[in-house]
Amino acid sequence: MIQVINPATGEHLRTYDELSPEKVSEIIDDVNEAWYSWKEVSFDERAAHMMELSRLIKKDKERLARLMTEEMGKVYSQGISEAEKCAWVCEYYAQNAQEFLKNEPKESDASNSYVAFRPLGLVLAIMPWNFPFWQVMRFAAPALMAGNVGILKHASNVPGCAAAIEELIKRAGFPENVFRNLHVGSDQIEDIIANEKVKAVTLTGSTPAGKSVAAYAGKNLKKTVLELGGSDPYIILEDADLDLAIEKCVTSRLINNGQSCIAAKRFIVVESIADEFEKRMVEAMEAKNMGDPELEGTDLGPMSRKDLREELHEQVKESVEKGAKLLLGGEIPESDGFFYPATILTNVPKAAPAYSQELFGPVASIIRVQDLEKAIEVANDTEFGLGAGIFTKDEEKGREIAETRLEAGCCFVNDFVKSDPRLPFGGIKGSGYGRELSSFGIREFVNTKTVYVA
């Protein structure tokens, strides 16, 4: 049984039956069969379905936002934005997929040689709860436009979101079984990956989950793309525009109730401005309104699950025990639901969880450093490498640091890290490998085929 719990109230909402292994195998057969005709469909026809999907998402965005709020506690206004972004990625690939995948002529000894990009087949998507529509659509839009088919194993606490995605794709006129949702637990993943009809796997989730899936996939020689955790560093230099830096840093740390792999998590501040930065950050985070995520004016909703809140609180407590100083928050409120307040730790030592671990909630870690060189050293002193930011009025210096010195897949200057359909997205080190979005993302799950005509 898959149960839905409202994280704002702790109330049980509904229950879904898990699919049996036999039913899962049947669905995989049906989806694989659908691929043989879908891969031959023209880009124009695929694009027509994808544009209709975009239209339906826009039309239903209020319903979809309420579903996100209900199942994982997303602030309603942020759910609206997530739905709109899903519509955008559908439009983007409808308009650009054919160009991204057109044949590329290559010089060789042949009279004619070129590279063709052909779909792989059935792709398994293992997706998380924190952006329950966006994470799926940023995979599904390019995969379907490339001529692949998909099956979705979504997080168990957002089954309604998973069902809604399948329903929307069907309503958009995509052929039967081109995309199917699987209500299953993680105990079936290994067998699903091993199924010979599954050609590739994409996962967004924790680093341990990524390692596990990569092991299963490697054992079965299946292509993988992994977008995993992050402990994103934001460097604040002495010449930074502090008004801008505070606005961007607080937004990034609290967006999605602090539950984002690319949220700013470690704020590495040059000592000469650290006091002022801390003062302003406390004021800004203290002013944010925590409450019912369905209500207008709420900035910070609940965490998605009780166990995740408990894990975060233990990380905060241990960090304080190891020497970090608590500037704000850090106490579980006496209220229904799984709320955790905006929290700030400073003077975070290397031994503290807040220095090295991913804190997946509304907790900011401030680390003071003497100069730029130390800031870069601390920023890169992590197993993760998803995103990073730097704030400085010297844009050329910021660009050079972002490009050449920060060890992350996405490096932003004077803004917070975000995904954009037009730009490749993904990490290095413990944050995974492969890329989503842009032309790079759609080419992850194709056969890059050499054609040689003597």
Q: Span 354-366, mean pLDDT? A: 98
What is the phi/psi pair of residue 85, to 5°? -70, -35
Q: Span 289-317, mean pLDDT? A: 97
Q: How far is CA 42 from the centre of its chain?
A: 30
SS3 137: helix
Residue that is written with structure tokens 């490009």 in the block? 403
Q: H-helix or E-strand containing 77?
A: helix 76-100
Q: Span 52-67, mean pLDDT? A: 98
Q: pLDDT band at residue 45, thresholds of 50, 70 and 90? A: very high
Q: pLDDT band at residue 147, thresholds of 50, 70 and 90? A: very high
Residues with catalytic annotation?
227, 261
Q: What mean pLDDT value characterizes the chain? A: 98
pLDDT at 321: 98
Q: What is the pLDDT of residues 248-259, one digit of tens each?
A: 999 999 999 999
- Asked whether the predicted pLDDT for residue 366 surpasses 90, the reply is yes
With CA atoms as reference, report the closest residue to 449 among 198, 144, 120, 42.
120
pLDDT at 1: 87
Supply 420's token pair. Answer: 């954009």
Q: What percent of the chain has pLDDT over 90?
A: 100
- Strands 264-270 vs 432-433: parallel, antiparallel or unpaired: unpaired
* CATH code 3.40.309.10 for 232-413: yes
Q: Is there a common fold for 2-228+429-453 and 232-413?
A: no
Supply 116's token pair. Answer: 């063709």
Burial class (CB in 10 A: 0-12, 13-18, 19+), 251: middle
CA dihedral 208, 209, 215, 220 (to 10 degrees): 180
With CA atoms as reference, report the closest residue to 303 among 333, 330, 339.
339
Q: What is the pLDDT of residues 390-437, one digit of tens each?
A: 999 999 999 999 999 999 999 999 999 999 999 999 999 999 999 999
The residues with which 390 forms a beta bridge, in sequence order, are: 235, 413
Q: Span 36-54, mean pLDDT? A: 98
- Asked whether the predicted pLDDT for residue 298 surpasses 90, the reply is yes
Q: What is the pLDDT of residues 307-335, one digit of tens each?
A: 999 999 999 999 999 999 999 999 999 99
pTM higher than 0.75, yes or no?
A: yes
- Asked whether the predicted pLDDT for residue 381 surpasses 90, the reply is yes
143: left (phi over 0), alpha (psi -120 to 50) or beta: alpha
pLDDT at 59: 98
Is residue 193 within 8 Å of 187, Cβ to Cβ?
no
pLDDT at 121: 98
pLDDT at 299: 98
Q: What is the pLDDT of residues 87-115, one digit of tens each?
A: 999 999 999 999 999 999 999 999 999 99
Written as one string, the DSSP assignment of 9-71 is: T--EEEEEPPPPHHHHHHHHHHHHHHHHHHTTS-HHHHHHHHHHHHHHHHHTHHHHHHHHHHH
- Asked whether the predicted pLDDT for residue 11 surpasses 90, the reply is yes
The domain 2-228+429-453: what is its CATH number?
A: 3.40.605.10
Domain range annotation of the chain: 2-228+429-453, 232-413
pLDDT at 301: 98
Q: pLDDT band at residue 61, thresholds of 50, 70 and 90? A: very high
What is the phi/psi pair of residue 233, to 5°? -90, 140
Q: Span 344-359, mean pLDDT? A: 97
